[in-house]
Amino acid sequence: MTTRSETQTTLDHLLTEIEHRNPAQPEFHQAVHEVLETLAPVVAARPEYAEPGLVERLVEPERQVIFRVPWQDDRGRVHVNRGFRVEFNSALGPYKGGLRFHPSVNLGVIKFLGFEQIFKNALTGLGIGGGKGGSDFDPHGRSDAEVMRFCQSFMTELYRHIGEHTDVPAGDIGVGGREIGYLFGQYRRITNRWESGVLTGKGQGWGGSLIRPEATGYGNVLFAAAMLRERGEDLEGQTALVSGSGNVAIYTIEKLTALGANAVTCSDSSGYVVDEKGIDLDLLKQIKEVERGRVDAYAERRGASARFVPGGRVWEVPADLALPSATQNELDENDAATLVRNGVKAVSEGANMPTTPAAVHLLQKAGVAFGPGKAANAGGVAVSALEMAQNHSRTSWTAARVEEELADIMTSIHTTCHETAERYGAPGDYVTGANIAGFERVADAMLAQGVI
């Protein structure tokens, strides 16, 4: 039998090859490295995983689509953006993953997100594969008409590659209910089919699921609560830091508040707000979801309890919990050291890979409970899969039923990660547990289906 060290050497060589074959894609390299550095125990214990080039196939997308997206602004000027859809792995079901519209989007970012999605989706146990897509289009500051024309152009190419049994996109950064509506309308127009299961995150009056907007934030808080329970604590009375002020952050704050914690921060690219009384969710929703404003407006209107810190780091505020909910690599090693000095107990990722590898290692070394995004923020895609189930049966579930299903799924994910980590000699290491548990589910399906 191959030893664990020999297996790790083989995986390290594979990582070097991946970096060579995929140049200038640092986010993808980071995501792959984070998984491969934890797989040696399972590959050494189950040599059948090494034989058919399984890991080599897992890190190579099944399909990568890049396309031109031309559109006209309100003045008639033509713009050209680039669209992406990376269909990474469909061993467990149709590709499933969001669309991100943001200037930072490139192939490496989409591949990192798609690779993470494989394991996240596997952990839900709901029979969905991993994929991701998007564009370098920036919807910020654009009119509804401009966003509509862009979405229509984007879908005019994307429709060829998706379908309810093939690939089911959803929203992500820059893609909310408005964008999903425009995308679905164009898909329906082109195909002449009411294929409601082709996109998730739809409006509740035409195929969407209750609790879907809240699901990622709610799920992350439920995962954080489960980690605390393992340590004999709960959320009641805990002070929490939340970064971001979009969908994930807003509903993270909402669930924290409902479970008795005090969420005292939110942020955007201009800086952060700290509110000693706790974030006023109604005011934050008005500013961010209705007015599409900046968080400094929150501090101006909230009163004496809140202050805006321009360009600051939300992690410098002392607290018990930290829930990064904005974007990748937003919490670095220096931030982690600050959190540890301030006595943080748990960090749970609401965004995708928001914590740098050095920061993760520092937090784990300090004994902080750390929930990786592929486990902690799986609530969003879980409810997306529940939306697909409702679409297939032409039914609509109550909010109570969806929330109960979400709670069960997040509890199951936590249990799976915790038990898998213990089984492979890494008790309390949710990163190792999540990676290995997700890998085993996908790997077993890939073995059963042959070399494809």
pLDDT, tens only, 216-233? 999 999 999 999 999 999
Q: What is the mean pLDDT of the chain?
A: 96
289 near 250, Cβ under 8 Å? yes
Domain ranges (residues) in the chain: 4-59, 63-194, 215-376
Question: Could you give phi then psi for residue 209, rounded to 5 degrees?
Answer: -105, 140
Please name which of 298, 276, 278, 303 lies closest in space to residue 286, comparing C-alpha atoms. 298
3-class state of residue 425 by DSSP: coil
Domains 63-194 and 215-376 belong to one CATH topology: yes
pLDDT for 1 equals 58
* ∠ CA 221-226-227, rounded to 5°: 100
pLDDT at 65 over 70: yes
Domain 215-376 fold is: Rossmann fold (3.40.50)
Q: Which of 120, 132, 255, 345 is catalytic?
A: 132
pTM of the model as a whole: 0.95
- Per the annotation, the verdict on 132 as an active-site residue is yes
Asked: is 63-194 a CATH 3.40.50.10860 domain? The reply is yes
Question: Average pLDDT in the 410-433 region?
Answer: 98
Strands (E), 210-305: 239-242, 262-263, 265-268, 271-275
234-293 pLDDT, tens digit each: 999 999 999 999 999 999 999 999 999 999 999 999 999 999 999 999 999 999 989 989
